[in-house]
Amino acid sequence: MFTLGDLPYAYNALEPFIDERTMQIHHDKHHAAYVKNLNDALAGQEELLSLPVDTLIGDLSKVPEVVRTKVRNNGGGHANHTMFWSMMAAPSEGSDKPSGALSEVIDKTFGDLATFQEKFSQAGVGRFGSGWVWLVADKGALTITDTPNQDSPLMDGRVPILGLDVWEHAYYLKYQNLRADYIKAWWNVVNWREVERRFNTIT
Ligand code: MN
């Protein structure tokens, strides 16, 4: 069985950038539904239900074809949101700037942090419909990519170290149709310590 973890901070911790009501609905309704639907899709399949969700969605060929799309969407939703919560933090707690090796690779790859943020933001604004933007690390090299729906880079064997949810449910209450404003605000709550931790784990 997959379970919905608590947020690693209070619902209002990301105010004023991400509002409390959005966090409540996003976590307690949307994320909860992905977990429930994933468990329902895999009912009785104890071996698959016992896998870490990242492992499950990393090899969907092991999932019976009849439920594969459900597992792709809801397993992806569970994995993506679990990661998303951990990649944000209250503005005073680690949401300043990347440092160390990650900072060096960002500068080397994109020129500087501001240019990286601009390109990542553009990918978010440009993502048509629902989906995610990712910073993916592959053998120490970083690339920006985006995916539709709840697809994850993990489904292609790539490891995301930063992800941004650009589904309307992530921002519509506060920002309505202004996705670019949501993305601009979101940078204030990025938990760079967690991004660094992920980067250091795979390089
Ligand atoms: Mn979402």
Q: Are residues 79 and 126 in the same domain?
A: no
Ligand 1 centre to CA of 112 (Å) is 29
Pick from 28-37, 44-53, 91-100, 102-111: least confident: 91-100
Instruction: Give me the mean pLDDT over the 159-178 stretch.
Output: 97
Asked if 169 contacts 66 with a C-beta cutoff of 8 angstroms, the reply is no
- Report CA(104)–ligand 1 centroid distance (Å): 30
Give residues with Cβ within 8 angstroms of 134, minimum separation 6: 144, 145, 146, 147, 153, 160, 162, 163, 164
Last residue of a domain, one of 86, 114, 129: 86
Is position 3 within any domain? no
Ligand 1 centroid to residue 173 C-alpha, Å: 13
| 151 found inside a domain | yes
Which residues, 6 or more positions from 67, have their beta carbon under 8 angstroms from its beta carbon? 41, 42
Strand pairing partners for 160?
A: 136
Distance, CA 111 to ligand 1 centroid (Å)? 30
Q: Measured in angstroms, how far is the CA atom of residue 81 from the centroid of ligand 1?
A: 6
Structural domains in the chain (count)? 2
Tell me, in angstroms, the distance from the centre of ligand 1 to residue 7's CA.
Answer: 13
As a whole-number percent, the residues of the chain with pLDDT over 90 amount to: 93
What's the 170 CA to ligand 1 centre distance in angstroms? 5
Q: What is the pTM of this model?
A: 0.96
* Domain boundary, last residue among 31, 56, 86: 86
**Is position 122 within any domain?**
yes
What is the rounded distance in angstroms from the CA atom of residue 31 to the CA atom of residue 54? 15
Residues 129 and 175 in one domain: yes
Question: Is 10 among the domain residues?
Answer: no
Average pLDDT of the residues in 168-189: 97
69 C-alpha to ligand 1 centroid (Å):
18
Does residue 77 lie within any of the structural domains?
Answer: yes
Residues 80 and 105 in one domain: no
- Residue 40: which CATH number? 1.10.287.990
On whether residue 95 sits in a domain, the answer given is no
Domain shared by 151 and 124, yes or no: yes
Rounded to whole angstroms, the Cα distance separating 45 from 110 reads 44
Retrieve residue 30's tokens: 């949307």
Q: Are residues 177 and 114 in the same domain?
A: yes
pLDDT of residue 68: 98
Q: What is the CATH number of the domain that holds 158?
A: 3.55.40.20
Lowest mean pLDDT segment, chosen from 62-71, 93-102, 151-160, 167-176: 93-102
Rounded to 10 degrees, the C-alpha dihedral 54/56/60/65 comes to -150
Instruction: Return the C-alpha torsion angle 21, 27, 29, 33, nearest 10.
Output: 170
Residue 152 lies in a domain: yes
Q: Give 58's pLDDT tier (boundaries 50, 70, 90).
A: very high
Q: How far is the CA of 164 from the centre of ligand 1 (A)?
A: 9
Within this chain, do residues 108 and 194 fall inside the same structural domain, yes or no? yes
Q: If you average pLDDT over residues 135-141, what whole number do you get?
A: 84
Q: What is the pLDDT of residue 140?
A: 67
* Residue 16 per-residue DSSP state: T
Same domain, 71 and 131: no
Residue 47 bridge partners (DSSP): none
Q: State how beta strands 131-138 and 159-165 pair.
A: antiparallel
- Residues 108, 195 within the same domain: yes
Looking at the structure, tell me whether residues 119 and 181 fall in a common domain.
yes
80 and 114 in a single domain? The answer is no
DSSP 2: -
Residue 203's pLDDT band (cuts 50, 70, 90): low
In a domain, 138, yes or no: yes
Do 31 and 82 fall into the same domain? yes
Could you tell me the residue range of the domain that residue 28 belongs to? 20-86
- Measure 78 CA to ligand 1 centroid, in angstroms: 9
